[in-house]
Structure 1
Amino acid sequence: MSDSFIRMPTLSEIIGLSKNAIYDRMNPKSPRYDASFPKPVKLGSHSIAFLESEVKAWMDERISERQAA
């Protein structure tokens, strides 16, 4: 299976959250922390990306939760 990296601007556009909201979901000290949020992949000393398949799985989980409610 081939997987692609998604950089922050693209991730923000795909899931409809700002960069700051995404970082909040990744920060365990934030009240908006989401342990199920896709973990970033470090590409360099100051560069991260996300796996497309993990982002899609996270989005599918949100949809499933909505449908179950």
Structure 2
Amino acid sequence: MATTFGADRFLRIEEVIHMTGLSRNTVYRRIREETFPRQTRIGANSVAWRQSEIDKWMLAPLPLTDV
């Protein structure tokens, strides 16, 4: 689902987990590994992810790994 600039919205961690199927720990580990979009600070104690960044990440080809 592509979003336009006007339709972009902020997603909290629960929505990111639901959309991606990743666990909370995996989301933060992949952020550290720089393989997942970083969150944006939206308040003093609040962070969120832009839906457009999550959509872009989900549409990107998966890296090949040795099993």
Q: Do both share a fold (TM > 0.5)?
A: yes
Q: Which protein has greater RCO, CA pairs closer than 8 Å, 6+ apart?
A: 2
Instruction: Look up the match of 2:42.
Output: 43
TM-score of the aligned structures, taking structure 1 as reference length: 0.73
**Number of residue-to-residue matches in the alignment:** 58
Structure 2 residue 13 is matched with structure 1 residue 8: yes
SS at 1:42 equivalent: strand
TM-score, reference length from structure 2: 0.75
Root-mean-square deviation (Å): 1.5
Greater helix share, structure number? 1
Q: 1:45, CA displacement in angstroms?
A: 2.3
Runs (5+) with no aligned partner, structure 2: none
Is the partner of 1:50 in helix, strand or coil?
A: strand
Runs of 4+ in 1 over 6 A off after TM superposition: none
